[in-house]
Structures are given as structure tokens and as C-alpha cells.
Structure 1
Amino acid sequence: MAIDMNVHELLVINDADLLIHEVLVEWVVKNPKITQYVQYIRNLCKRFHKIEFRYSPTTHNELDDALTTIASMIENPDADYIDPLYIEVKEHQVHYSHVEAEPDGLPWYFDIKKCFETGIYPKNATSNQKKSIRHMALNFFLKGEMLYRKTPDLGLLRCVDATKLQSFWNK
């Protein structure tokens, strides 16, 4: 597909460390069943100006899963060009599990939902706050009026505000 799209530089992330080393001619191919496969990949590599292979253990394939999800959601009218996707990887993950109070009376997810619906950020939001909203929004999607959070195991959590949750528990 990359060749058909005239891609000149390619980063290949794979969980097959052995295959990567064999393709890069760092290790000798000993398995006769994959000799032709490795040679075919080497020939394909010659068609790129720059190609890089990076090993990622199967247990660390969150990026692969996320990119697959994103790619399945994007409709690009121009099949000949795809905008580059820039990804910033944070060193430490942050998890929020419960919000005690909503002092402004708005649901905790209000800014994310409003950004989805209108593309508008809060009035006095700094560029860092806007960036934070965009970053958080990557884990959410809007279906009709309902906002959902995607979990790492591809589950969905429905976003509810504290007042609706409280009235639910009081029933």
C-alpha cells in the first residue's frame, strides 16, 4: 500500500524481532520456510528512499491498536495523500477514576463534549489547557448526545455527571 501511494520514507514497527534482524541482514535466515519471504521484503525495501524497522514487543502494542482504531475512523477524500500523524508519547500515564465535586455545576466532561460538538474551547483556556482537552478527547467519542470513553480493552464507558449518577443511586 505504501508503494502504491508513492511513500518515500517508511517506519515499520513490528513485534517479530527475528524477522526484523533477518530483513536488515543482521542475522542469517536459518528457516527455509521464510527465506523467500525475507528476500521479498528486502526487495520491497529498495523501493523506498528511507525505511526504518523498529521492534515493539507484543505486550507494548498499544500504539498499534490505537493507530488501527484511528485509521478505521478517518475518511480521507483524497486517496493519494494522507496527512502525517504526529504522536507525542508521555513518560508517565495518568488515570482518573472518580470526580468528587463539580463546583461550576457543569459535568466533568463538559469541555471535551463541547469541543466535539462545536470545536470551541472554554473562553479563557490557555494553549496548554486546549492541548490537554485535545489530548483527553482522543480517548472519547460522541454518539448522538452521549459521550463515551474508550478503555484500553476496547470497552466503552458512558460519561455521566455527578447529579445524574446521584439520582440514579437514590432510586
Structure 2
Amino acid sequence: MDTKNEKTLPYVNLEQRFCNKFRKIEFRHTPRARNEFADSLASMIQHPESSHINPLRISLKEEHAHCCHMEAEPDGKPWYNNIKIYLERREYPEGITSGSKKTIRRMANCFFLNKEVFYKWMLILGLLRCVNAGEAT
């Protein structure tokens, strides 16, 4: 990839190094006439040293992104426990407010229980299996 602006040369070099780490990569050129938003943002940012561009930090993860967002449950129960119990037995946890009950009922509309396997229904993606932190790991 070539660049006309030497300010962007560090980015081009970094891009070329990282391109080898992907199975497939695609670049699309957006003509300047259709890129008014980026131009207006760039014109609003004034750096004291005009030839300096802050470095772009890119990090590569060795595991899937969805694994990075799983947290262990503090009480040992999965995040979906209250919804699952509601779908199984139509019961609420003890001591919750009527507002929380309403939230559980509303959220239960988006979930599906097939024996012991719990799914979340999403229009575009279909059924997504819900797992606890141990299963995700």
C-alpha cells in the first residue's frame, strides 16, 4: 500500500506488519468526497506539533473475544439463573421486588429452555447457547 502523506507512513508500516497475521483482509478506498465526516473530525483536532501523529495501539489476542468477556459468578450461579428458574418453574427468587419480577418476565421472552440447555433467541443470529464461566473456559 502506498501513501502520499508521510505523516501516515508509521501507520502504513504497522498495517503491513499486521496484515500477515490475518487469514483474510480487505481494504476499501473511500473517496474524499464521500468522507466528509472524517475530514471534519480531522480539522477539529489540532496537535501542537503538526508532523506528529499519536501512535495507534493494536493488540492481538490468542483467544476468542467472547472468552475475554466471561466473568466468574460471585455466588457460583450462572448469570442467567433467575431467568432459567422462572422458565422451568415459574418461580422468582426470594425477596425480590415487583419491578425485578417484571424484568425477569420480560427478559424470559427472549430465552428458550430445552431440557437442561438454555438458549437466548436473537432475531439475526437465531438461538445462542448460554453458558456459565466454567463452560466458556
Using the size of structure 1 for normalisation, the TM-score is 0.38
Using the size of structure 2 for normalisation, the TM-score is 0.47
